[in-house]
């Protein structure tokens, strides 16, 4: 029997007392049968925006989801709430599909997950024609944008839902969409009359930090040791080779690290993803092939060892950290070679010139975010037309403001060197000229006789690389990826070279790294030392009760943290913990109450690392 009251559904099934900002308006709008475009940050509660209307309205809610590998986990989470959920995709046998379709036709499914490819099959549409459908939810709707980083051509055909089921409300949901992408979603999904709900893109629990790469692996290890010695997280790399090398290196350092990229077999990718979702403290090292739709709420960090190709990609990827609202880190280390590699990949793609220009502008915006010296969150939000009035106080630039210096003279030397050598050499060669190195190739080209030869000895190679990277990021130099990374001057370099303006850049002092690193500590879950044994005890119990499913299907970290803080010892007290609904209270409540009582009984006893009395 269907529930009708949205707030009653929220309280009894999901175990929460009130909706988050905008959720109630979106849900009421959908329950009334209206279409909507929902932009809400990862972890903002998008799934409730379609799950609650699906339960409140008559019929089955159909969720279009782009990744079949995650459907099982999404369905498991709903089954743990005692809901009737199912999925149909190519992983099922024909008999399993037939059984699910029979349940669908009988009205025995509350929520059905289906990939766009499967949904668009004539046979699937024919089945849906004979069903009572409460709502269509098009998740990860930014996939419809041909300018986006996760474009899926199947999404372009989903306007069939409007044509074939005109009386069924449709919700298109995404966490990442600038204005161009929003316009495409509206146009391609025929949502012209849909109301748009745009929540703030801000994820205040995430600490953003971006640094210049010195030794990327050592930097990553220091970051992990200082902040996340036991936490689950994701490390993104640009190439498959770097993914494999980094995962192997982390394993050698004692971490459980698994590779994930498109070059691995589907079975290996699925196995590694399943371990990440089900086990505690697993680190996945991945290309961008990993992550979309990942529902794991307790990812405590996302690290980038290369520059992402756009601000959208960076926001989408970092948004996989801290979905539970608890403190999390978005940390990145990148270098000049990343820019050269990304531009080379863009130039060598099969895209048309217009698409390449758009990609070029997106990369420039990402470079600007990486090199800026002011609040990163303000700039990140502004990119999505969302505005934060004051600096956030939770990014590296806010906590350790970078020093700037008058780099005009140094920039003039760098620009002159590029110009005098014919604008056909890369960074390494130009630095050798500036440092006056007696290299054979410099002698061969006759550049040791130039006035710029040896004029930059006051700076180190590392400092010159930082300067060149900032000049590229500011658009004073362009990289010719077809010419092996040769640098040429842009029109913007002219006033600097002529001394008509002053150029201030981030300080080249390498000591800044130590200052910013110290500010990133203590961004993990706020469990007191005194309560750490109980925290570990409840986590161990959760794993035992999960029966091979992801541990968060039992209770999320946020719910466990509230149990640790409140220490409920009765069913009534336990029901007041956020995330403990009626079904989960009946299924798991006594076990966790007993564990808390046992802990209280041995409160003065020493515990081992597993949370057991020593």
Residue 254 is encoded by which pair of tokens? Answer: 């004692």
Average pLDDT, the chain: 88
- CATH number, domain containing residue 491: 1.10.10.10
Q: Do 58 and 143 reside in the same domain of the chain?
A: yes
Question: CATH no. for residue 543?
Answer: 1.10.150.80
pLDDT tens by residue, 359-370? 888 888 898 899
Query: In this structure, are 213 and 317 located in the same domain?
Result: yes
The answer as to whether 1 is a domain residue is no
- Establish if 613 belongs to a structural domain: no
pLDDT band of 518, cuts 50, 70, 90: very low
Last residue of a domain, one of 148, 173, 198: 198
Q: Give the total number of structural domains in the chain.
A: 4
Assess whether 362 and 413 both reside in one domain: no
pLDDT tens per residue, range 208-219: 999 988 788 999
Average pLDDT over residues 34-42: 93
Among residues 239, 470, 213, 462, which one has the least CA distance to residue 341? 239
The per-residue pLDDT for range 278-321, each reduced to its tens digit, is 888 999 999 986 766 677 888 999 999 999 999 988 998 999 99
| Statement to judge: residues 257 and 368 lie in one domain | yes
pLDDT confidence bin for 603, thresholds 50/70/90: low
Q: Do residues 211 and 240 both lie within one domain?
A: yes
Q: How would residue 606 be classed by pLDDT, with cut points 50, 70 and 90?
A: low
The confidence score (pLDDT) of residue 180 equals: 82
pLDDT digits (tens, 9 = 90+) for 55-94: 999 999 999 998 777 788 889 999 999 999 999 988 899 9
**Rounded CA separation 242/380 (Å):** 27
Together in a domain, 89 and 187: yes
Q: Within a domain: residue 42?
A: yes
Q: Tokens representing 48?
A: 């409730």
How would you label 455-470 residue by residue, b for 16+ Cβ within 10 Å and e otherwise? Answer: bbeebeeebbbbbbbb
Contact (CB, 8 A) for 110 and 334: no
pLDDT at 569 over 70: yes
The rounded distance, in Å, linking the Cα atoms of 551 and 279 is 7
Torsion sign over Cα 150, 156, 160, 166: positive
pLDDT value of residue 282: 95
> Rounded to an integer, what distance in angstroms lies between the CA atom of residue 244 and that of residue 473?
29
Question: Rounded mean pLDDT of 496-501?
Answer: 93
Last residue of a domain, one of 169, 198, 227: 198
What was the pLDDT predicted at 149?
58
At residue 515, the pLDDT reads 35
What residues have CB less than 8 Å from 545, skipping those under 6 apart?
554, 588, 591
Based on the fold, state whether residues 266 and 289 are members of the same structural domain: yes
Of 58, 52, 54, the closest CA to residue 9 belongs to 52
565 shares a domain with 467: no
How confident is the model over 429-451, as a mean pLDDT? 94
- Shared-domain flag, residues 231 and 152: no
- Reported as a single tens digit per residue, the pLDDT across 92-125 is 999 999 999 999 999 999 999 999 999 999 999 9
- Is the predicted pLDDT of residue 520 greater than 50, yes or no? no
Under 8 Å between Cβ of 488 and 423: yes
142 occurs within a structural domain: yes
pLDDT score, position 194: 96
Determine contact, residues 165/173, Cβ cutoff 8 Å: no
- 541 in the same domain as 492: no
Could you give phi then psi for residue 182, rounded to 5 degrees? Answer: -60, -45
Q: Is the pLDDT of residue 512 over 60?
A: no
Query: Do residues 104 and 126 both lie within one domain?
Result: yes
Backbone angles phi, psi at 273, to 5 degrees: -65, -40
Average pLDDT over residues 581-600: 92
Domain boundary among 198, 227, 246: 198
Q: Quick one: pLDDT at residue 532?
A: 86
pLDDT for residue 290? 79
pTM: 0.77
Mean pLDDT over 238-261 rounds to 95
pLDDT at 608: 53
Q: What is the pLDDT, as a whole number, of residue 614? A: 52
Q: Flag the least confident range among 69-83, 386-400, 432-446.
A: 69-83
Q: Give the span between the Cα atoms of 54 and 229, in whole angstroms.
A: 41
Would you say residue 609 has pLDDT above 70? no
Q: What percent of the chain has pLDDT over 90?
A: 63
Instruction: Read off the pLDDT of residues 324-334 as tens digits, 9 standing for 90 and up.
Output: 889 999 999 99
Nearest Cα to 517, choosing from 303, 300, 223, 305?
223
User: How far apart, in whole angstroms, are the C-alpha atoms of residue 35 and residue 32?
Assistant: 9
Same domain, 147 and 249: no
> What confidence score (pLDDT) does residue 486 get?
85
Structural domain for 373, as ranges? 206-399
pLDDT at 340: 82
Q: Is residue 608 part of a domain?
A: no
Specify if 609 maps to a domain.
no
What is the model's pLDDT at position 122? Answer: 95
607 has pLDDT over 70: no
- Taking only the tens place, the pLDDT of each residue in 338-347 is 888 888 788 7
* Assigned domain for 607 exists: no
Across 206-215, 335-344, 411-420, 503-512, least confident range: 503-512
In a domain, 513, yes or no: no
Give residue 2's pLDDT band: very low, low, confident or very high (50, 70, 90).
very low
**CATH code, 165:** 3.40.50.300
């Amino acid at each position: 029997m269907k529930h009708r009251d949205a707030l009653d559904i929220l309280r009894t099934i999901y175990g929460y007392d009130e909706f988050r900002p905008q959720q109630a308006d979106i849900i009421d709008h959908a329950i009334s049968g209206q279409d909507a475009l929902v932009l809400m940050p990862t972890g903002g509660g998008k799934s409730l925006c379609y799950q609650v209307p699906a339960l409140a309205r008559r019929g089955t809610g159909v969720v279009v989801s782009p990744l079949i590998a995650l459907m099982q986990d999404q369905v498991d989470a709903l089954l743990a709430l005692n809901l009737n959920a199912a999925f149909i995709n190519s992983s099922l046998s024909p008999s399993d599909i037939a059984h699910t379709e029979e349940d669908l036709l009988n009205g025995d499914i509350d929520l059905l997950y289906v990939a766009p490819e499967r949904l668009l099959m004539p046979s699937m549409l024919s089945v849906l024609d004979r069903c009572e459908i409460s709502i269509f939810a098009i998740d990860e709707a930014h996939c419809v944008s041909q300018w986006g980083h996760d474009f899926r051509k199947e999404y372009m055909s989903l306007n069939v839902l409007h044509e074939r089921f005109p009386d069924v409300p449709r919700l298109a949901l995404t966490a990442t969409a600038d204005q161009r992408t929003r316009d495409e979603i509206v146009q391609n999904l025929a949502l012209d009359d849909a109301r748009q709900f745009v929540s703030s893109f801000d994820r205040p629990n995430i600490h953003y930090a971006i640094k210049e790469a010195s030794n990327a692996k050592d930097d990553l290890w220091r970051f992990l040791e200082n902040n996340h010695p036991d936490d689950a997280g994701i490390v993104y790399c640009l190439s498959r080779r770097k993914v494999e090398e980094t995962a192997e290196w982390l394993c050698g350092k004692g971490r459980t690290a698994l590779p994930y990229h498109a070059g691995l077999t589907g079975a290996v990718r699925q196995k590694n993803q399943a371990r990440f979702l089900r086990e505690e403290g697993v680190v996945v090292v991945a290309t961008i092939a990993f992550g979309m739709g990942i529902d794991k709420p307790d990812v405590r960090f996302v690290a980038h060892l290369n520059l992402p190709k756009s601000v959208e990609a960076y926001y989408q990827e970092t948004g996989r950290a801290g979905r539970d609202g608890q403190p999390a880190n978005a940390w990145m280390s990148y270098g000049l070679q990343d820019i050269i590699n990304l531009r080379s990949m863009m130039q060598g793609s099969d895209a048309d010139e217009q698409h390449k220009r758009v990609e070029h502008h997106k990369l420039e915006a990402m470079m600007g975010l990486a090199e800026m010296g002011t609040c990163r969150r303000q700039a990140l939000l502004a990119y999505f037309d969302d505005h934060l009035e004051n600096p956030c106080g939770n990014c590296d630039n806010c906590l350790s403001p970078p020093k700037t210096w008058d780099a005009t003279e140094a920039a003039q030397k760098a620009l002159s060197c590029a110009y005098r050598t014919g604008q056909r050499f890369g960074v390494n060669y130009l630095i050798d000229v500036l440092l006056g190195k007696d290299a054979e190739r410099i002698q061969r080209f006759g550049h040791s006789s130039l006035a710029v030869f040896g004029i930059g000895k006051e700076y180190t190679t590392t400092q010159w690389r930082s300067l060149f990277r900032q000049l590229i990021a500011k658009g004073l130099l362009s990289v010719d990826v077809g010419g092996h990374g040769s640098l040429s001057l842009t029109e913007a370099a002219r006033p600097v070279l002529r001394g008509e303006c002053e150029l201030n850049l981030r300080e080249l002092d390498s000591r800044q790294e130590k200052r910013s690193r110290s500010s990133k500590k203590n961004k993990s879950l706020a469990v007191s030392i005194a309560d750490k044994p109980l925290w570990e005890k409840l986590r161990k119990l959760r794993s035992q009760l999960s029966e091979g499913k992801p541990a968060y299907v039992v209770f999320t970290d946020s719910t466990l943290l509230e149990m640790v803080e409140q220490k409920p010892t009765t069913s009534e007290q336990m029901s007041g913990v956020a995330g403990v609904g009626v079904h989960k209270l009946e299924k798991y409540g006594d076990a966790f109450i007993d564990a808390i009582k046992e802990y209280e009984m041995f409160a003065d006893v020493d515990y081992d690392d597993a949370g057991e009395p020593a």
